[in-house]
Structure 1
Amino acid sequence: MTVAVSRIHFPVTTLGPGRRLGVWLQGCSLRCSGCISVDTWDGGFGQVTLDSLLEAVAVHAPEADGLTVSGGEPFEQPDALAALLLGWRQASDRSVFVFTGREFTDIEPWLERNPGLIDALMTGPFRSDLPQTLALRGSDNQRLHVLTPLGAEMAVFERLSTPSDRRMDVMFDEDGDVWMAGIPARADVARLRRSLHAAGHRASTSADKGLFAE
């Protein structure tokens, strides 16, 4: 089996409690207007073997406080997602938190076929026309579902957002591009771009392959 993967990173501190392993799957047909992860839409690249992905996960599992899976749209690779989470269960007893742009009813059949693989789930598409006042959400239509006792640790995010929720993890890839993990406030990326421009740097959004400065 192969899996389309955008990136994997440890530690991620902005997408759930603790120092988590983050896996971003590649490919999304939802293509929400205003999405900051346009680079994850195309499903035509990023293919790796499931074994190689599970090996990378196993390296970080002993240190990670949990696994967060995002994208892209994880449920566009339903079998690969199930295999990834089964591999995590073998490597760790820590929680699994998944972000999806689909509604809960759309993925209930997957959850019934794969009971206990996801501890907490954030559902719903990003809506740029709606407010963004809740923690760990890009827009307030998105819903947090605690599915297992282990997922109860996510209940702390069932609240209004605070400035600390808008922190970003920064990572560098092999090309020198800068990637940021987290859920920024609507104006944060534009404000960063203006600051970089004022300092004599150039920045572009993920529509132009990530957010980077040079």
Structure 2
Amino acid sequence: MTAIIALSRIHFPVTTLGPGRRIGIWFQGCSIRCSGCISMDTWAPGRGITTIDDVVGAITPWLPAADGITISGGEPFDQPIALLALLKRLRSLTDADVLVFTGHPWTKVRESANASPGLIDAIVTGPFDVNQRQTLALRGSDNQELHFLTALGQTRFESFQRPMTDVERTLDVMFDDRGDVWFAGIPGRDDFRRLREMLERAGAKLSTSEDKRPSSGGMSAQ
């Protein structure tokens, strides 16, 4: 029997969360809930329930054209059984690299990430910290760490151990069947405020999913 997974969305191509044209898989449900997170819509558990078979079936047509796969959320390690099952299926279907984003520190996920060698090539660990600077490639805040778990991960992601360039401060734009707009990538702290103000000047309104609690001073995206 195929494993159950709570999924927020999938998309291809994603060009802002790792090298090349990537398949993006976002898990639904997050127990970490970082202050300032831009993806509060992925926090609630129990939504988007589907199966690993259905996810694999949906992304299989994209695999021949994909340079890599990025898994984010939500929090992937909140669903360890589903994450492991998905990773195993992906490895049986493609040689593309696999990058995982987690809000847990490396010390907490290291054992799980290394328990099945070869399934994850690189992993970005650590919670988004709204009080940290935002200067490093592939990271929403500078406290987050990039780890290489395989030789492929080292080859594909070693070049990201550096400051983010201006060219990389871009976002992928996606549209769903309901007319909602999704952004994939790592925006600057004030990017969505500027977008909201620009739209309001044009007579339109923008409703975003970022954490608006008073303690929040910024935003994160993956």
TM tier relative to shorter chain: over 0.9
Partner of 1:9: 11
Does the residue aligned with 2:182 lie in a helix, a strand or coil? Answer: strand
Q: 1:201 aligns with which of 192, 204, 220?
A: 204
Partner of 1:86: 88
1:138 & 1:128 partners in 2: Cα distance? Answer: 9
Q: 2:101 aligns with which of 96, 99, 102?
A: 99
For residues 1-214 of structure 1, what are the structure 2 equivalents within 5 Å?
1-152=3-154, 153-207=156-210
2:64 & 2:83 partners in 1: Cα distance? Answer: 20
Q: 1:58, 1:88 within 8 Å by CA — same for their partners in 2?
A: no
Q: Quick one: higher RCO (CA 8 Å, sep 6+), 1 or 2?
A: 2
Does the residue aligned with 2:173 lie in a helix, a strand or coil? Answer: strand
Does the residue aligned with 1:203 lie in a helix, a strand or coil? Answer: coil
Partner of 2:219: none
Q: 1:57, 1:88 within 8 Å by CA — same for their partners in 2?
A: no
1:57 & 1:76 partners in 2: Cα distance? Answer: 22
Q: Gapped runs of 5+ residues in structure 2?
A: 212-222
1:113 & 1:206 partners in 2: Cα distance? Answer: 34
Among all aligned residue pairs of Structure 1 and Structure 2, give the percentage whose two residues are the same amino acid: 57
Deviation of 1:158 after TM superposition, in Å, equals 0.7
Deviation of 1:102 after TM superposition, in Å, equals 0.4
Deviation of 1:179 after TM superposition, in Å, equals 0.2
Q: Gapped runs of 5+ residues in structure 1?
A: 209-214
Tell me which amino acid in the other structure corresponds to 1:117.
Answer: L
- After TM superposition, the score normalised by the length of structure 2 is 0.91
Deviates further, 103-112 or 34-43:
103-112
Q: 1:135, 1:157 within 8 Å by CA — same for their partners in 2?
A: yes
Deviation of 1:137 after TM superposition, in Å, equals 1.0
Post-superposition Cα deviations, 1:65-96, rounded to whole Å, max 9, x if no partner, equal: 01000000000001111111111111110100
Aligned residues: 208
Tell me which amino acid in the other structure corresponds to 1:34.
Answer: G
2:59 & 2:91 partners in 1: Cα distance? Answer: 11
- After TM superposition, the score normalised by the length of structure 1 is 0.95
Deviation of 1:135 after TM superposition, in Å, equals 1.0
1:51 & 1:88 partners in 2: Cα distance? Answer: 11
- Runs of 4 or more consecutive aligned structure 1 residues displaced over 4 Å after TM superposition: none
2:191 & 2:116 partners in 1: Cα distance? Answer: 37
Partner of 2:218: none
Post-superposition Cα deviations, 1:97-136, rounded to whole Å, max 9, x if no partner, equal: 0000001110122123221100000000000011111111
Q: 2:136, 2:164 within 8 Å by CA — same for their partners in 1?
A: yes
